[in-house]
Copies of this chain bind each other. A is one copy, B any other.
Amino acid sequence: MDSLIVATPSKTEALERRYGAGALKEWQGPPASPWNETIALMLDHRSVRSYRPDPLPPGTLETLIAAAQSAATSSNMQWVSAVAITDPAKKKVLAEIAGNQKHIEQCPLYICWVADMSRNQRISDAEKTDFECMPWLESFMVACVDASLAAQNAVVAAESLGLGTVYIGAMRNDPIKVAELLGLPPQSFVVFGLCVGYADGKAKSEVKPRLPQSIVLHKERYDATKEAAIRATYDAEMSKFSARHELQAATWTQRVLNRLGPIKSMNGRETIRASLKKLGFELK
């Protein structure tokens, strides 16, 4: 971790940033809960949407992919591929698909994470054996999980090297156009993209508080009885965060209402089932 630019925060600082100074009262862990540099690194995660143009050290991409491939994969099927994009023209098109997210153009490395069942389909073709387990929602879901576990390892690796990242779900605004641009075979699909690069120090970036652990972690059995009251403490915390960052929706509750209420906030992604069918996923 010697290449980390920012010193890792102490445990109390890290928990305060992650749950908010006010909401830390909700923290249920004992003071002696275990802690180390790797955990401090993960708690310090923030999404980076402004990058310096500086190139990455040689071999960074390969190291990130080695970390990604080291994540668990269901039955070792390895239903994940990565397409690394550095070509400015390609990044420009991808940024447009994503609703003009300029950080896709800014970052020196953009990785498209592919739920990739095509590699196994090629084995079916080569061995002239019908794969009865392919056309199901279950298998597609496993491929998406595989891709997610892999990508998250890459994120932790990147952050351990002092790099910033942000996931780009908006690749799903137009999965067919993305697949065409990347030359993807049938039965493969970009679940999300990932910007990787050095954060622009001038741009503000702050750890975003999350819901109090007491309504996310359940013991033995799911229990939502105290949820509304605890959510109110998070709303108060997020109001302070929103004020600091001039965000429109003040509370988390208001943000959820805005994001999930009107269909237009899906940016067309409600059509993804039809797009996936065109890409070769039956999803039975």
Check if A15 is an interface residue, CB within 8 A of chain B.
yes
Q: A40 CA to B203 CA in the complex, in Å?
A: 31
Check if A7 is an interface residue, CB within 8 A of chain B.
no
Check if A102 is an interface residue, CB within 8 A of chain B.
no
Check if A36 is an interface residue, CB within 8 A of chain B.
yes
Q: A270 CA to B131 CA in the complex, in Å?
A: 13
Task: List the B residue with the shortest CB-CB distance to A159.
Answer: B38
Contact A133 B265 (CB under 8 A): yes
Which of B78, B119, B157 is the one whose CB lies under 8 Å from A227? B119
Within 8 A of B (CB), among A199-225: 208, 210-211, 213, 215-224
Which of B131, B145, B160, B257 is the one whose CB lies under 8 Å from A192? B145
Q: A219 CA to B253 CA in the complex, in Å?
A: 41
Contact residues in B for A87 (Cβ distance below 8 Å): 220
Most chain B Cβ neighbours within 10 Å, of A41, A57, A69, A272: A69
Known contacts: A1-B38, A78-B211, A273-B284. The answer to whether A262 contacts B132 by CB under 8 A is: yes
Known contacts: A3-B34, A34-B161, A59-B32. The answer to whether A156 contacts B153 by CB under 8 A is: yes
Listed in ascending order, the chain A residues whose CB lies under 8 Å from chain B are 1-3, 15, 18-19, 27-39, 41-45, 47, 57-63, 65-67, 69-78, 80-87, 90, 114, 118-120, 122-124, 126-127, 129-134, 136-139, 141-142, 144-145, 148-149, 151-153, 155-157, 160-161, 166-167, 169, 172, 182-185, 188, 191-192, 208, 210-211, 213, 215-224, 227-228, 231, 252-253, 255-257, 259-263, 265-266, 269-270, 272-273, 276, 283-284
